[in-house]
Chain A
C-alpha cells in the first residue's frame, strides 16, 4: 500500500472520528439549546394561561421524572418511542426517495387492524408462528396500502400528497366499518371495538423480571432492527443508492438508467410496510386490540420525527426517543401538575422550528457559538 493511500485512509478515518467544532455546534449544541428554548417558551405559555409558577415548576419536574426519572419512566419512554421510530423510518425512506408520504396514519391503522385480525382469528398456533404471522400481516397490509399511492404516481403521475391524504381518510372510514362489523368487532359489543389479541400473538414484555407492571415490549428490538435495516438499505445497497439518487435528482437518475416507476412503487411499499409494522407493534405490544383512532396520531407525529431526524435512520431513532420521552413525561405532567398534555405538542412544534432554523438559535444566544460561521 503506497504512502499517499495510507494518508488518504487515515484522513478518512479521522474525519469520521473527530467531530469538528462546527459539526459539534450543529449536531449537539443546537438540538440541546432548541429543546431548552422550547421548554422556556412552553413555560411562558403555561404562565400566560394562568398556571402558577409553582405549578410550572412541578410540571417540568414531572416531565423529567416521567420520562427518564425511573426505570418505569424509561420503559414508558421507550414504549412510546417504538411506533414513532418505526413509522418515522418509513417516512424518512420516502423522503430519501423524493416522496412525501402523508399517508402513514392510514398505513398504521390498516396494518394494525390486520395484525389484530391475525392475532385473534388463528387459534392454537404456537407463539413462534403466530406472532411473526401477525407482524407480517401488518407489514404486508401497510405496504400494500401505501403502494397504491406509489403505483398511481408511477402509472399516472398522480401526486402522492393528494393520494395519500385521500387514502388516509379512506382508511379511517374503512377501520370504522371493520370495527363495527363481524368478524373484527368483539362479539356482543355494539361500540366500535375489536376482538382481543390472543396471548400467543402478543409481543412479550421484556422488563417484567424487574417489575411486572413495566410495559416495555419486544417491539423495541424490532425498532432497533428497523433502524439498522434502513441504514443498511440506504447506504449499503444498490436499491438504496437508487432511492437516494432519484430523490436528489429524478431526471439524472432516469438518464442513468434507473427505473423510476419501480423505485417509486418499491419505496412507497417499504415506507408503508414500516408504518404497518408500527401499527402492529401498538396493537400486539401495548393495546391488545384495535379501536377507532387507536394509533393516537402516530402517523402524523412521525412526519415530524422524520423531519427532525433529518431523514437519517440514526437521527430518526434519536428524534423518536425525544418525542417518546416528551409523550411519556407529558402524561406524568398532566397527572402530577394538572397541565394538559396538549402543551407537549406545542413544545414539539417549537423544537422542530428551532432545530430546522439553527440561525434562529444562533441569533437568540449568540455568545454560545463561535463567530466565524454566523451566517450559515
Chain B
C-alpha cells in the first residue's frame, strides 16, 4: 500500500480549488486581525531582544500595536483578493505561508500589547524544541528516499530516549548517546529485515515497531526503573557556547548557545543533504527509491542499499531520542516522546522529502510549541487549549495549501523482488 497517491484526484482541479480556499482563508485572517487584534490594542508591544548578561546589548523592539494590526490586515486582504483574480493562484503556497506568518506576528503583538516579552528567549526555545522533530523528519527522509516507509520513527525515538537514560545514568552522557544510537540502529535493522528480506507490509512493520518500543520501554520502566532509581538519573548535556559566534547579538543566543543535540542535528542534516544530493552513493540511494529495477540493472545492490540506509536512519533516530532524556529531562518517563515521531513524519512530507525542508517544517512546529508555552506567561484571554491547537490547525491549512506539488519517491512503500 502506497502512503501517498494524489493521483486519485485531478491535479488541475486541486490547483483551482486550492487557490480559492487560500483566498478565503486569507480574507478571514484579515478580518480576524483587524476586528480583534486591531480594535483591542491600545498601547505598544515591547519585544526584548537581548538577555541581561549579553556582551552586546541590543535595544528592545517597540511596536505600536493597533497600527501594526491594521497594516497586516490590509496586506492579508490584498493577498486574499489577489487569489480570486486570474494568475494569483500561481504563488498560492508562498502567499499562504507569508500570510500565516504575518498573522502570527500580529497575534504576538496583540498578546504583548502593553507588556514586554523576550523574543530571543522564545526563538531559542524554538530551536531546542525543533530538534527531535527535525531528526524524526530526517529519519523519514533517509528511509523513504530508498522507498522504505518508516512509521516506526516514534518507536526509534522512544527506545533512544530509554537507552540514553539508562546507559547515561550508569556510564555518563556520551556513552548514553552511543548506546542510544546502537539501539536505534538495531530497530532500523529490524525494520530492514522485516520489510526488505521478509517483505512484510511496511506500515504493519512500522506500527509493530512502535508498539514494541512503547510496550517494552514502559514495561521495563515500571518493572525495573521504579525499583532501582539510580538507573534513571541521567546527566543532562549543558549548553556549549561556540567561541565568538555566541557573542553575536540575537543570533548568538538562538543558534550558538545550545547543547550538543542542536549542533548534532544541524550537522546530521547538512551531511545527509550532502550525501543524498551531492555524492555518487546518494544518487544511487535515490535511484533505488525511484526505480529499483533500473538501479539493479545498473549493478546497484538494492537490498544492501536499503539495509544500510534504514539502519543508519535508525541510528540517527536513536540519537534524536536521546535528546529527550539526556538533552532535556534527565530521566525517562513512559511515552515521553509524546507523538514527536509522528510530527516528524508530518515534517518530512511537509518538507517534501528533503532534509532541509524537514528542518524548516520542524522549526515551524518548534516555534508553535514554544509560542504556546511562553504565551501562558502573557495571559491572553484565549483558553490555553485553543492556543495549543493552533499549530496543528495551521499545519493542516499549510499541508492543504502546498501538497499539490509534493511528490514522494516513485517506488515508496513497494518491496523489491529481484528476478
Contacts and interface: CB of A to CB of B under 8 A. Distances in A.
B57 interface: no
A169 B223 contact: no
Interface string A235-247: 0000000000010
Most buried by B among A165, A166, A167, A246: A166
Interface residues of B, number: 57
Contacts of B345: 161-162, 165
Interface of A: 45, 49-51, 95, 98, 100, 102, 152-159, 161-163, 165-167, 169-170, 173-174, 176-177, 180-181, 246, 250-251, 253-254, 260-261, 264, 303-304, 307, 339-340, 342-350, 352-353, 356-357, 359-360
Contact of A173 (B4, B218, B388): B388
A188 to B, nearest CB: 20
B342 interface: yes
Contacts of B388: 173
Interface in B1-42: 1, 3-9, 11, 14, 17-18, 21
B212 A353 contact: yes
Interface of B: 1, 3-9, 11, 14, 17-18, 21, 194, 198, 200-201, 203-205, 207-212, 214-216, 218-220, 222-224, 334, 339, 342-343, 345-346, 349-350, 383, 385-386, 388-389, 392-393, 395-396, 399-401, 403-404
A159 B219 contact: no
Contacts of B343: 165
A218 B272 CA distance: 55
A124 B198 CA distance: 59
B9 A260 contact: yes
A307 B216 CA distance: 20
Contact of B21 (A49, A156, A162, A342): A156
Contacts, number: 173
Contacts of A50: 223-224
B214 A345 contact: yes
Most buried by A among B7, B201, B204, B339: B204
- The binding surface of chain A is classed by DSSP as helix
- Minimum-distance CB pairs A-B, first 9: A345-B215, A346-B215, A349-B212, A349-B211, A342-B218, A177-B385, A250-B8, A342-B219, A158-B400
A191 to B, nearest CB: 15
Nearest to A50: B224
B232 to A, nearest CB: 14
A339 B223 contact: yes
Given A346-B212, A346-B215, 6 more contacts: A51-B223, A166-B396, A303-B207, A307-B204, A342-B216, A352-B208
